[in-house]
Structure 1
Amino acid sequence: MTTPPSRDGHAVPADLEAQAWNWLRLLRSGDARELDAKRFRRWVHSSPAHQAAYNAVKFRWDALEPPARELLQRKPEAVPRPRRRVGSAYGRRAFLGAAIGAAAAAGVAVVHPPLGWWPAIDEWGADDRTAAGEQRTLALADGIDVTLNTRTSVRRRTSGGQAVGLELIAGEAAIDLGAGRAFAVIAGAGRSTAEWGRFEVRHVDGKACVTCIEGAVRVEHPAGTRVLQARQQVRYDAVAVGSVASVEPAAATAWREGVLVFSQTPLADVIDEINRYRTGRVMLMNDRVRNRPVSGRFAIVELDMALWQLQESFDLRARTLPAGVLILS
């Protein structure tokens, strides 16, 4: 499991990171009592690792405040209404929900998980997960290779000790199958199954897209079933599934070659996609250009150059803040 770095560059264990966020949430909420303060002091001084974990999350929170305050001033609707799971302990998502109330009162908007600094709670149980900008290939069995794109979390599914599929919790995966047994990918409300060939599944922000590169893929959804042939694609969300569409697979698979390809894509969507590949966050604060179309090819390893090109093309001002935050206005 990938763990974030502390301020001195060392990795923070995931369990300590979660505990540190819970303490920070409580201390910033205004609900902390004297007993809580004593418990916190015992926790934070129990080891250098505990102190480092707290220092790391506090540094990130403090770095978020300036851009978040500006976001709240421009877009008050960006602050979601917090929700608490009944009967459950505070986790990272619960921390964020509670923190939003306190943060909003202080003039700070938080998008959860803030700046993508930690995985969402649904991703904690992932068997495999990639960090921002990371790609990894898993050889699940003879003839079954799965390549995970950036910020991707999956759970493996087996039967009788053999790989039969995976759950794509979030992110994007490319599946390469030799002739043999069926392999299924569950993403949100849909299940995509193939017996051979190549296909890709993307599951981001509750929306899924399945692209068949070679062979055939059966996509089952509560709203209907679609069968894809090579060079075909279908999109779905939790309640609906779209029609089968013809696509140019080279664009869909370009990330495997280290390239992002856009064709008449709104600038806001381009920024969202770039954010998946880099730590921190790019915030587009200029509504005038949000829907302006972008076409081009950008190397994943040179996304800072891509951002500079976008800045120049749309006459945007750029402001750099700590923790990888870039504001374009």
Structure 2
Amino acid sequence: MPSDNSRPLPETLREEARLWLRRLTSGEVTEWDAQAFRRWRQASPEHARAFDEAKRQWQALGPAIGQLLQNDEAAAERHDRAMQPVSRGRRLFLRTAGAAVAGAAGAAIVHPPFQLWPSLDEWQADARTAKGERRALAMGEGVQVTLNTQTSIRRDIADAGGGAIDLISGEAAVDMAVGGATFSVQAGVGRSTAREGQFEVRHLDGQVCVTCLRGKVSIDHPKGRLELAARQQATYDGQALGRAAPVDGEAVSAWRRGELVFRQAPLKQVIAEINRYRPGRVMLAATALEDSAVNGRFAIAALDGALLQLQYSFDLKARRLPGGVLVLS
């Protein structure tokens, strides 16, 4: 008869454990968190085992984290902030939970590390897709929203003029029938609205990209309003709103057909895009090749084959690390 430790853990329990680990290493925990964590971990032997498993996976990322700190200035800055002294009110918790974390705080440079699991905001979404998953949602009469990989949304019930969602992170495509009500997508500080047609909104790392494929889309931003016509695209962040520019709609929406299309794209951008779909994490250690141009059409269902093509094209060597990390050098 198999022992309890040999039984597979429910995925929901694994995800709860990862969220707790992320919370413990955030530097923003409280005594209430300490009590809640104790209750959660003591709920059953499976809870304790799930946390230990999550901790081992995080610690296994150590070699890749060191390499990331050397090659990614933004990650290094986040690491410096995460390692700053915590307030006195939080030290009690750190003493309480320190044994449970057992060294995992050093991996708090990314929240979560390498985006291997959802953030707290994403966890609280009304709808969310996993890596490689696509999902179509009906949003009222004549409106369909398709969520791309690793996408989280909330339904915006406060919008009185029509349907709306808050795109927390990821990418969403909106298809609207002729003659329907308006539909809006809030992403960051901006809001994209259309009455009919087709548009896509991508919200990653604080940067938002809006593409109008058919019809017209208006973008409302603290810096002003911008109108997009079919086959136009614009980007914005918290400080600035860009201009409308022509775009290759076939390439932008290729993900809806199960493909990734790159035309003169930098290698580092290609790797970043593959990471959004493929389990684990690919790291490009050959920094001299980061800006090398890539042209290609890759099936999302066969991205390991795409990585092999990139290895041959750029004479890269692949090294596998624990935690599903693949380093190309």
Same fold (TM over 0.5): yes
Letter of the aligned partner of 1:124 in structure 2? W
Aligned residues between the structures: 304
Contact 1:72-1:109 at 8 Å conserved across structures: no
- Assess, with a 3 A threshold, how the Cα gap between structure 1 residues 134 and 75 changes in structure 2: closer, same or farther: closer
Task: Provide the TM-score with structure 2 as the length reference.
Answer: 0.82
> Partner of 1:70 in structure 2?
67
Match of 2:57 among 39, 60, 74: 60
Aligned: 1:165 with 2:129: no
Using the alignment, how far apart are the partners of 2:321 and 2:175 within structure 1? 41
- Assess, with a 3 A threshold, how the Cα gap between structure 1 residues 46 and 260 changes in structure 2: closer, same or farther: same
Aligned: 1:186 with 2:183: no
> Partner of 1:32 in structure 2?
none
- Greater displacement, 7-16 / 138-147: 7-16
> Partner of 2:47 in structure 1?
50
Q: Where does structure 2 lack aligned partners over 5 or more consecutive residues?
A: 1-5, 28-33
User: Offset at 1:67?
Assistant: 1.4
User: Offset at 1:160?
Assistant: 9.0
Q: Where does structure 1 lack aligned partners over 5 or more consecutive residues?
A: 1-5, 30-35
- Assess, with a 3 A threshold, how the Cα gap between structure 1 residues 101 and 66 changes in structure 2: closer, same or farther: closer
Letter of the aligned partner of 1:169 in structure 2? I
Partner SS state of residue 53, structure 2: helix
Task: Provide the TM-score with structure 1 as the length reference.
Answer: 0.82
Using the alignment, how far apart are the partners of 1:160 and 1:70 within structure 2? 45
- Assess, with a 3 A threshold, how the Cα gap between structure 1 residues 43 and 172 changes in structure 2: closer, same or farther: closer
Letter of the aligned partner of 1:309 in structure 2? Q
User: Offset at 1:10?
Assistant: 2.9
Alignment of 1:73-222 (within 5 A): 78-79=75-76, 80=78, 81-82=80-81, 103=106, 110-158=109-157, 164-178=163-177, 179-222=179-222
> Partner of 2:256 in structure 1?
256
Q: Encode CA deviations 1:65-100: one digit per residue, 9 max, x unaligned.
A: 12112333556773223259988999xxxx9xx999
> Partner of 2:20 in structure 1?
19
User: Offset at 1:323?
Assistant: 2.3
User: Offset at 1:109?
Assistant: 7.7
Using the alignment, how far apart are the partners of 2:140 and 2:286 within structure 1? 48
User: Offset at 1:188?
Assistant: 0.8
Using the alignment, how far apart are the partners of 1:190 and 1:148 within structure 2? 19
Contact 1:157-1:165 at 8 Å conserved across structures: yes
Identity %: 48
Using the alignment, how far apart are the partners of 1:217 and 1:165 within structure 2? 14
